[in-house]
Amino acid sequence: MTNISIISHKRVKALRRQNNEKTIKFAIALAGSLLAVSAFAQSFPNRPIKLVVPFPPGGVTDIVARTLSVKLTEELKQSVIVENRAGASGAIGAEAVARSAPDGYTWLMGNISTLAINQWTMAKLNYNPSTSFEPVAMVAVQPLLVVVNQTVPVSTLSELVAYAKKNPGKLNYGTAGSSIHLAVEYFSGLAGIKMNHIPYKGSSPAITDLLGGQVQVLFDPFSSIHPQVAAGKVKALAISTAERSGIVPKVPTVIESGFAGFDVSSWQGIVMPAGTPKDIVVKMNAVINKALKSKEVVDRFAQFSAVPTQWTPQQFGQYISQEQQRWSKVAKDAGVVPQ
């Protein structure tokens, strides 16, 4: 019995010694890896960065991306190149980024459609908004404008609702993405009306058809549609956020127009492929937030009533999750069937 105890004790000592050696080796390897990642992040970027905009040129997401890319190029001393990959409410561009190498050199200018709503409106989505990306930085929030073609005989939102009720099936509304589709369905549910949905790949073709009379109603990001309002080519009936815009102070909010609870914003934010090193995410968050504070970006954003944000990656991730839950309920309540 004594011999067995001695042998067991020796074995335990040997195992402990082996484990200690393995632990030390692992710690050294881990420290080396962390130092390598840290060194990589410090030297990052050392070549141009691609910023994918999953919508056509000229829309709000494109304008936000190009405005920010100029300042980021200056800050990083590397080119931040905007690449438009439009289609399927942003899903094509988002999928391309999700499948890219997680090395920090491919970014997505995501938005409410690609990160919060597509999963509730599209039957087949080849990326997961919750797991395919690393949230980096929230960039901007701006209102939608509710506008109508000049031929529609209304001048207020309540008059539009009354007209829609008297003329069921007569009004067509255009949308440049799944987010606006759900926003209009949300409003229609509150107002008790039904309009015909005409989807578009972006704001530009939707606005063209609004001016041509193919669609009569448009809910569109401020930056895209305001030039037409300012030119008197379309009529602005309401603004989608809880507060009015200083650029069009006479345009009431949807809430002020009698539809309580309607507070909807268009938003954009930068994400990278899942698995991108955390050091790079943190570093780029700081650089982007610095750029968003610059006078050039603030002044440009103000021209289309956009508000720049300075959130951490964690805050942006939490916001995306909240928006996903919010629009899931809206889609269900509106009876939207994924297509």
DSSP for 76-117?
HTS-EEEEE---GGGHHHHHHHHTS-SSSSEEEEEEHIIIII
DSSP string, 273-336: ETT--HHHHHHHHHHHHHHHHSHHHHHHHHTTT-EE----HHHHHHHHHHHHHHHHHHHHHHTP
Q: What is the mean pLDDT of each run of 10 residues along the chain (339 residues)?
A: 37 50 57 52 90 90 95 97 93 97 98 94 94 97 95 97 95 89 92 93 89 96 91 97 92 96 93 98 98 95 90 97 94 86
Give the integer Cα–Cα distance in Å for 285 and 86.
25
Q: 189: domain CATH number? A: 3.40.190.10
Burial class (CB in 10 A: 0-12, 13-18, 19+), 128: exposed
| Closest to 146 (Cα-Cα) out of 228, 56, 61 | 228
Residue found by looking up tokens 């004790």 in the block: 9
Q: 287: domain CATH number? A: 3.40.190.150
Q: Are residues 163 and 112 in the same domain?
A: no
Identify the domain boundary among 222, 239, 256: 239
Q: Are residues 135 and 159 in the same domain?
A: no
Q: Are residues 150 and 126 in the same domain?
A: no
In a domain, 221, yes or no: yes
> What does the pLDDT read at residue 304?
84
Residues 6 or more apart from 157 whose CB is under 8 A from it?
Answer: 146, 237, 238, 252, 254, 257, 258, 259
Q: Are residues 97 and 162 in the same domain?
A: no
Q: Are residues 295 and 281 in the same domain?
A: yes
Give the integer Cα–Cα distance in Å for 126 and 33.
32
In a domain, 292, yes or no: yes
Q: Are residues 210 and 279 in the same domain?
A: no
Q: Are residues 53 and 202 in the same domain?
A: no
Q: Are residues 207 and 282 in the same domain?
A: no
Give the integer Cα–Cα distance in Å for 298 and 54.
23
Q: Are residues 126 and 183 in the same domain?
A: no
Identify the domain boundary among 194, 221, 239: 239
pLDDT tens-digit profile of 76-114?
A: 999 999 999 998 889 999 999 999 999 999 999 999 999
Residues 6 or more apart from 176 whose CB is under 8 A from it?
Answer: 55, 59, 200, 201, 202, 203, 205, 206, 220, 224
- Say how many domains are in the chain: 2
User: For the chain, how many residues are written?
Assistant: 339
> What does the pLDDT read at residue 28?
60
Q: pTM value?
A: 0.79
> For residue 268, what is the enclosing H or E element?
strand 265-273
Any bridge partners for residue 198, and if so which? 174
Q: Which domain holds residue 174?
A: 143-239
Q: Are residues 231 and 179 in the same domain?
A: yes
> What does the pLDDT read at residue 295?
95
Identify the domain boundary among 219, 239, 259: 239
In a domain, 1, yes or no: no
Provide the b/e sequence for 43-72 (b: ≥16 CB within 10 Å).
ebbeeebbbbbbbbebbbbbbbbbbbbbbb
In a domain, 19, yes or no: no
Q: Are residues 295 and 280 in the same domain?
A: yes
Could you tell me the CA-to-CA distances from 32 to 35, 184, 239 in Å, in that order?
Answer: 5, 53, 54
Residue type, 235: K
Report CA torsion sign: 91, 97, 98, 100: positive
In a domain, 20, yes or no: no
In a domain, 291, yes or no: yes
Say how far residue 262 (Cα) sits from the centre of its chain: 19
In a domain, 196, yes or no: yes
Alpha-carbon dihedral 24, 26, 29, 34, rounded to 10 degrees? -110
In a domain, 32, yes or no: no
> What does the pLDDT read at residue 2?
33
> What does the pLDDT read at residue 305?
86
Q: Are residues 129 and 158 in the same domain?
A: no
